[in-house]
Every structure is written in C-alpha cells, then in structure tokens.
C-alpha cells in the first residue's frame, strides 16, 4: 500500500513540474452568412517578429459557409482580414482561439482574443481615427499646416478616449493595451514627421521655408525616436529612413570621399543601439538584397558583428541565400515555381507563366509588373508605349502583369492607364505569387526580360525611357 502511495505521489510531483509549452499559433474559425464570400484573406501577420513584412494566408469558405485557419505567431501581431471589398484590422496573440461571424459587412467576434478585436472593429468606424484616412486627406483636400497638426492631435486623443471608454465596458488584455498605447505613440511620430512633407508637396513649397507649430519638430532626431519597445509596431523601423538619409548627407558634405552607402551605414552604427539598431540594419540589408538588388557585404559584416537576435539572423540568412539563388537563375530556364505562377488574362482566362511563355515562343519578353496604385508605374506608361511602338517590327513582346485584385473596374482602368488593351494579366496572389516569392519582388514597378528560349536574362531590367533598355532588347532580338 505504501509503495502504491509513493508511486502516485511521484506521478503527481512529476505532473506538477511539467510546464505547459506556450502555443505558437492563433486559431481562427468562423461562419459566413453571406453566400457571395468565397475566401477570406489574413494579411501582414508575422510568424517571425523580425520579418520586414508579413504573409498573406487564405481561408476558403466551404459550401456550408464555414472557414478555419491556423496562423503561426511568436508574439502579438497586427494584420488585416479582407473579404470582397471589406478590410478590417485584427490583432492576434499566440494561443488565441478566435471565432468570427461574417454577416454582410458586419463582424461579430467571440472566443479567446475576441475583446481586443471587437474594440478595433468599433474603433475603425471612427473616421478621424484612421491614420491612412488622415494621410489621404492631406494630399486630397486643402488644409492649412495648423489644421494638419490639429488632425494629429485629434487622432491621438480619440484613440486614447476610445480605449478609456471601452475599458469601462469590457476588460482588455494588458498585453494589448500596452501594444495599443505604443502603436498610438508610433503613429503620432509618423504623422508629425510626415505632415511638413505632405504640406510642402501638396502646396509646392520648400519644406525648409515652413513655419512649424511649437513642438512639431519634437521627433526630428534619431535619438528622439529610438525606443526598443516600439519594435512590436510593424512600421517603427521605417520611421528612421528620412532621418538617416538627412544625417548621411551631412556626413558626405563633411567628407567628400564618403559614399552614400558608407555614410548611411556609419549613421546606423553610430546613432542607433540595441535591438533598434539590429532591426534597422536588417531592414536596410533586406531592401538592398531585394528591391535594390545589391549584395551589401559591408552591411552584412556590420550586422554580424552586433547581431544577438536569432530571429533577425534567420531573416538575413534566408535573404542572402535567396539572393544567391536568384543570381544563379540568370541565363537559365525559368524555375518551375515561377513557371507555375497562376495568372488571369483580361478575359479572365486562367493560365500560367509557362503558358504565357509558350504563347510567345521565339520572342523576347519584356515583363512589366505593376499596379494601378503605383504612381511611378502609371507615369512611365507613355514611355513604355513609345518604346513598344519603336520596336514593333522586332520579335519583342511587351507583357503587362498587375498585382491588383480582380474587380469590375480593374481592366477598364488598366487599359486606360497603360494606353493599350493588349497583353494584360493579373497575378492571382499579387505579391504572394510564386514568381514574386522566388525573385523576392517586394515593390513595383519591376521589370523582367526573358529571352527567346525562355531563359531569364534579368529580374531587374531597366525601366522604359532608359536608352540602355532599347539597346539590350534589340541585341536579344537579333540573337
């Protein structure tokens, strides 16, 4: 009997010592009461908090109107839930078990994680409390500089007041409250630093000639912004861009032998510290390897000398490997993942990149990846038309592929902006397509050249208007 008691006691003791491992994902399930919703997209959520951008995951709605999805997370992450023309903010934490009922344009949240998302849903109905709406109004409407700063004050005050009111009704997690307060502070910095730029552009005035209200320049130095706690906010690392460029120019003026990249690197290493420096340096390396298509050896060397966060190291190692893989694709037939990328023509006929290349076999393809929402993409179209017409007698095909989503207005607007109704396609998954993922395409416009044999010539071709482009296309056409 004593032996049995001892065994039971041991089992109880061992059980009490076993710590339950925290879940590293959030679960979402829901019901759609509207028959016209076929899928729901969950955008921008980051499994790795050091990622420069999050991923898009799609939940298919079944024939009974139900959907479910699991989103991997290490920490609290903010993203978007989109269906049809609706876009709503969501905040997810590891361990959330959220249930969502979609009824027309309305959302009802229940389960673990429901309270914070009910608050965000309510907050989005307050027009003055949308940062993007504030920015759009600066460019789309006439405002005095004082009006713009008042809008910023209103934005911050409304967010704080709405949080206080909601907390009296329902209890919010401390983690979310802390995040929301930090996000409000980061948004305030972003708006304060962008207001003079928006006003000067809208009114075509020299930004240095503006008389700013007292306190408006509170965050115009790198030191005044740095706060490692802000890293939970996805746009925090982006706050430093203009300030780093400004300081870099000063250093280049003081030392004319200093290159732009070396000056920028010295500012990051000297003016920042801690996790902020590591993440800002990561962001700069990421853009060099992807958007700018440069190897950035000095930046990587500096990163390796200060890196302490395995999440950051994981991102850098992956991007370096992808950069090397991309370079290996030059001169080779397109990778199978790229060939499998799904497109839809302007007639809404589904096809793949492989099908597209087969249709234009024996021709050089100049692939224009763009979007209606991209100003530079729209502005370059007249030059693209002129170049295309000058090469009309050559075996060269200009193909336009948009990352925009399907809509009733998409193709008429595409034809109007591009000045042609020929050779237009859309990526089914936008920036999440296999082509974009394989070539690390994170911005538009981006141009690819594929030769007559279906081999990749470049994933970073010159834009229309660059005389080197015409010469390169003619040379390829003659081969």
pLDDT tens for 437-448 read 999 898 999 999
Task: Could you please state the CATH topology (level 3) that the domain comprising 25-103 is classified under.
Answer: Immunoglobulin-like (2.60.40)
Four-point Cα dihedral 112, 115, 121, 124, nearest 10: -130
pLDDT at position 219 is: 96
Enumerate residues 6+ apart whose C-beta is below 8 A from 38. 60, 61
Mean pLDDT of 157-166: 96
Share of the chain above pLDDT 90, in %: 86
Tokens of 409: 């207005």
Give yes or no for residue 5 having a pLDDT over 90.
no
Tokens of 433: 């397509």
For strands 39-45 and 77-83, give the pairing.
Answer: antiparallel
Residue 236, SS3? coil
Alpha-carbon gap, residue 403 to 367, rounded angstroms: 13
pLDDT tens for 401-438 read 999 999 999 999 999 999 999 999 999 999 989 999 99
Higher model confidence: residue 23 or residue 436?
436
pLDDT at position 6 is: 52
Give yes or no for residue 383 having a pLDDT over 90.
yes
pLDDT tens for 319-331 read 999 999 999 999 9
Q: Return the minimum-mean-pLDDT range out of 34-38, 150-154, 252-256, 272-276.
A: 34-38
pLDDT at position 2 is: 53
Alpha-carbon gap, residue 236 to 240, rounded angstroms: 8
Give yes or no for residue 14 having a pLDDT over 60.
no
Closest by alpha carbon to 261, among 301, 310, 208? 301
pLDDT tens for 56-99 read 999 999 999 999 999 999 999 999 999 988 999 999 999 999 99
Give yes or no for residue 235 having a pLDDT over 80.
yes
The full set of domain ranges for the chain reads: 25-103, 126-220, 239-329, 336-478
Predicted TM-score (pTM) of the model is 0.87
CATH code matching the domain that covers 336-478, chosen among 1.25.50.10, 3.40.50.150, 3.40.30.10, 1.10.510.10: 3.40.30.10
pLDDT tens for 461-474 read 999 999 999 999 99
Mean pLDDT of 167-193: 97
For residue 430, is the peptide bond before it cis, meaning its omega torsion is within 30 degrees of 0? no
pLDDT at position 36 is: 86
Q: What is the mean pLDDT of the chain?
A: 93
φ/ψ (deg, to 5) at 398: -90, 120
Cα 171 from chain centroid?
A: 31
pLDDT at position 131 is: 92
pLDDT tens for 353-373 read 999 999 999 999 999 999 999
Give yes or no for residue 264 having a pLDDT over 90.
yes
Say if residues 211 and 199 touch (Cβ distance below 8 Å): no
């Amino acid at each position: 009997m004593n032996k049995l008691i001892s065994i039971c006691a041991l089992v109880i003791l061992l059980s009490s010592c076993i710590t339950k491992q925290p879940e590293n994902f959030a679960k979402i399930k829901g019901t759609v009461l509207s028959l016209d919703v076929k899928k729901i997209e969950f955008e921008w959520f980051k499994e790795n908090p050091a990622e420069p951008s999050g991923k898009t995951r799609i939940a298919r709605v079944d024939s009974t109107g139900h959907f479910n999805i699991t989103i991997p997370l290490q920490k609290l992450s903010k993203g978007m839930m989109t269906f049809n023309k609706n876009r709503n903010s969501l905040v997810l934490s590891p361990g959330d078990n959220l249930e969502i009922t979609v009824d027309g344009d309305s959302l009802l949240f229940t389960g673990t994680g429901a309270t914070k998302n009910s608050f965000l849903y309510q907050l989005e109905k307050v027009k003055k409390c949308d940062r993007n709406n504030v920015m759009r109004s600066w460019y789309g409407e006439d405002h005095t500089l004082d009006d713009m700063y008042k809008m910023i004050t209103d934005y911050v005050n409304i967010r704080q007041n709405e949080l206080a009111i909601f907390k009296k009704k329902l209890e919010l997690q401390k983690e979310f409250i802390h995040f929301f307060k930090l996000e409000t502070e980061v948004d305030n910095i972003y708006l304060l630093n962008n207001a003079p730029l928006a006003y000067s552009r809208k009114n075509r005035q020299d930004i240095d000639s503006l008389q700013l209200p007292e306190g408006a320049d509170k965050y115009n130095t790198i030191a005044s912004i740095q706060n490692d706690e802000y890293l939970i906010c996805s746009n925090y690392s982006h706050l430093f861009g203009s300030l780093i460029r400004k300081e870099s120019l000063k250093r280049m003026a003081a030392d004319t032998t200093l290159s732009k990249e070396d000056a920028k690197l010295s500012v990051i290493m000297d003016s920042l510290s801690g996790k902020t420096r590591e993440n800002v340096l990561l962001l700069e390396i990421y853009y060099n390897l992807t958007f700018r298509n440069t190897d950035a050896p000095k930046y990587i060397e500096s990163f390796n000398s200060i890196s302490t966060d395995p999440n950051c190291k994981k991102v850098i190692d992956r991007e370096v490997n992808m950069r090397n893989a991309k370079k290996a694709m030059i001169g080779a037939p397109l990778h199978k993942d790229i060939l499998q990328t799904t497109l839809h023509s302007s007639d809404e006929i589904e096809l793949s990149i492989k099908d597209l290349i087969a249709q234009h076999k024996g021709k050089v393809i100049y692939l224009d990846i763009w979007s209606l929402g991209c100003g530079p993409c729209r502005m370059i179209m007249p030059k693209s038309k002129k170049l295309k017409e000058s090469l009309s007698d050559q075996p060269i095909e200009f193909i336009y592929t948009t990352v925009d989503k399907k809509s009733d207005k998409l193709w008429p607007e595409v034809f109007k902006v591009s000045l042609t109704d020929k050779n237009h396609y859309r990526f089914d998954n936008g920036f999440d397509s296999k082509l974009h993922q394989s070539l690390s395409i994170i911005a538009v416009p981006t141009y690819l050249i594929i030769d007559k044999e279906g081999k990749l010539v470049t994933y970073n071709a010159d834009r229309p208007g660059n005389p080197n482009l015409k010469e390169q296309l003619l040379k390829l056409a003659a081969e």
